[in-house]
Amino acid sequence: MTDKKIRRSQAWYGKQDKDGFIHRSWMKNQGFPDHVFDGRPIIGICNTWSELTPCNSGLRDLAEMVKRGVWEAGGFPVEFPVMSLGETQMKPTAMLFRNLLAMDVEESIRAYGIDGVVLLGGCDKTTPGQLMGAASVDLPTIVVSSGPMLNGKWEGKDIGSGTDVWKFSESVRAGEMSLKDFMAAESGMSRSKGVCMTMGTASTMASLVEAMGMSLPTNAALPAVDARRGALAHLTGKRIVEMVEEDLVMSKILTKESFKNAIIANAAVGGSTNAVVHLLAIAGRCEIDLTLKDFEIANQIPLLVNCMPSGKYLMEDFCYAGGMPVVLKELKDKLYPANTVLNKDIGVYSDGAKCFNEDVIRRYNTPLKPAAGLRVLKGNLAPRGAIIKPSAASDHLLEHRGSAYVFENIEDMKAKIDLPDLPVDENTILVLKGCGPKGYPGMPEVGNMPIPRCLVEKGIKDMVRVSDARMSGTAFGTVVLHVAPEANAGGNLALVKTGDMILLSASKGVLELEVSEDELAERRKHWQPDAPHYSRGYAKLYIDHVMQADEGADLDFLVGKDTRPVTRESH
Ligand code: FES
């Protein structure tokens, strides 16, 4: 390398003493020669590959492609593992461990002698967890995502991850689908490596990463098994070396404007409600003041991407239609100026973008739905906020007043939901407590609770549901989520009783429990928080320190960053 500036990694590998000997010598046991320690950029490849995270199972191969690019650009790549979070495999919920992954990522980056980082993630919580951790160290950082699976196929039709699971499951409960067919669909749904091929949380976060300029263009939609994703990984390896040369640290890319662009893009792609807690948490690490109110800037942004769960296509179709560059082109007048990993404005991401299917990616003036942004709700039932996703809801339920039927916790809901005489009708509002960050713990994706069997059998497909839980990005329905404060933190949600009237107005942003303040005060006198589910280990740390959904559900002591050099040696 011609650039002789002293890099961060030289504090490990540039020393001509005992400490330098120790750092270099042990690395040489992998066959690295002397000259790779000559001061060239050392690039960490932070890998969430795991066979228990099937969505990220392609990342081992992608890491090799990244390394090719790093070597080509004159850098020295070193791959390291971090905790992986398999959304479909972990109990009680992968979200409980997002902050643990973030801690792992942050401390791994800080403790090792690297100059820049490539984050390899994909499955829902891995992308935000990695970004949160990396933001707290603030080195040059770039993302390569797993990429979506190929379209699911069953009986000659396309079927989508998650979205069709919920549909098929309800059809079985309604007696419209046989168990044999249900099991047969299981094998056709997940046909290749990669993340859910609906616009679930993984593809949402990959799309927002691209809209925030934290990956190269086209990263979101290229299928996991498309050779072009390998080429993208190679180019990313080259680019991170240049980013180190340019000292293009994460804080020079992620600004308030880039978060606003992500919020706007989330509306246009019909993105996951989970993006709210993740963007709030990442912003907290970046020391950027982002609040639920900021999400209102996207209220009038139309839905452009016709993908499940808000539309009918899948990520493979989105890729072939042109992917995120086309969306960013349609949004060009709405986006804020913001830097990217290219050290150029986000506007360049859509240069030359062409749409090859205007049914999959709609024009701004002929959208799938107008005004598709997530709605923030406030009222005495959610003083600190709740959210709803109109693009995945039933229009006729977005303005609704109904009496509550309350489930005190997840076990109560599961025990009662199929009772033939459950006293509910299609106007009832189902309320579920005990599923917030502290309560469950970990705020699982159970907010889209099933429609009671007695109503499913009458053909009812949707009802208003209210909880302190999240829901899968692949899910749909008129579902009010992220009620804050949660029941277990003493929010008014804890005080709702069956028969109370609740008013929902998505257009006015209202979620009101029609019970007098005096009555609520009386109920509060008799309220006792549930005993926590864990008394030791990480889960206890989480329960004691997790913040509410409106603050991103990060741990309170992890907010912000620490960019000080580590000066003390290990021996
Ligand atoms: Fe991993 Fe959907 S479960 S991306």
pLDDT of 372 reads: 85
What are the pLDDT digits (tens) for 345-361? Answer: 999 999 999 999 999 99
Question: What is the tens place of the pLDDT at every residue in 420-458?
Answer: 999 999 999 999 999 999 999 999 999 999 999 999 999
Predicted local confidence at residue 5, as pLDDT: 74
User: Do the beta carbons of residue 467 and residue 431 sit within 8 Å?
Assistant: yes
C-alpha of residue 151 to centroid of ligand 1, in Å = 14
What pLDDT is stored for residue 4 in this prediction? 60
Minimal CA–CA distance to 76: which of 84, 90, 66? 66
Q: Transcribe 58-113 into DSSP letters.
A: THHHHHHHHHHHHHHTT-EEEEEE-----TTT-SS-GGGGHHHHHHHHHHHHHHS-
Residue type for position 234:
H
Regarding the beta carbon of 55 and ligand 1, being less than 6 Å apart is answered yes
Residue 1's pLDDT band, with cuts at 50, 70 and 90, is very low
pLDDT tens digits, 205-255: 999 999 999 999 999 999 999 999 999 999 999 999 999 999 999 999 999
Could you identify the atom of ligand 1 that is nearest to the CA of residue 54? Answer: 1
C-beta atoms surrounding 492 within 10 Å = 19
pTM exceeding the 0.95 threshold for the entire prediction = yes
Q: Give the pLDDT band (50/70/90) at residue 391.
A: confident
User: What tens digit of pLDDT does each residue of 460-488 get?
Assistant: 999 999 999 999 988 889 999 999 999 99
Cis peptide before 309 (omega within 30 of 0): yes
Tokens (6 digits) for 161: 């991850």
Tell how far the Cα of 196 is from the centroid of ligand 1, in angstroms: 5
Interval 518-544 mean pLDDT: 95
Q: Is 200 in the pocket of ligand 1 (CB under 6 A)?
A: yes
Cα→Cα distances 296→135, 280, 509, Å = 25, 14, 10
Cβ-in-10-Å burial (0-12, 13-18, 19+) of 26 comes to exposed
pLDDT value for 396: 96
- The gap from C-alpha 183 to its chain's centroid, in whole angstroms, comes to 28
Whose CA is closest to atom 2 on ligand 1?
A: 196
Q: At residue 3, does pLDDT exceed 60?
A: no
Taking phi over 0 as left and psi of -120 to 50 as alpha, with beta for the rest, 120 belongs to beta
**How far apart, in Å, are the Cα atoms of 435 and each of 29, 80, 385, 483, 556?**
49, 34, 16, 10, 19
- Nearest-atom number in ligand 1 for the CA of 53 is 1
323: its two tokens: 């992917």
Largest CA distance in the chain: 79
Cα 388 vs. chain centroid, distance in angstroms? Answer: 16
Mutate to test the pocket of ligand 1, among 90, 97, 98, 124 (most ligand atoms within 8 A of CB): 124
Distance CA 83, CA 86 (A): 10
Residues 256-307: pLDDT tens digits? 999 999 999 999 999 999 999 999 999 999 999 999 999 999 999 999 999 9
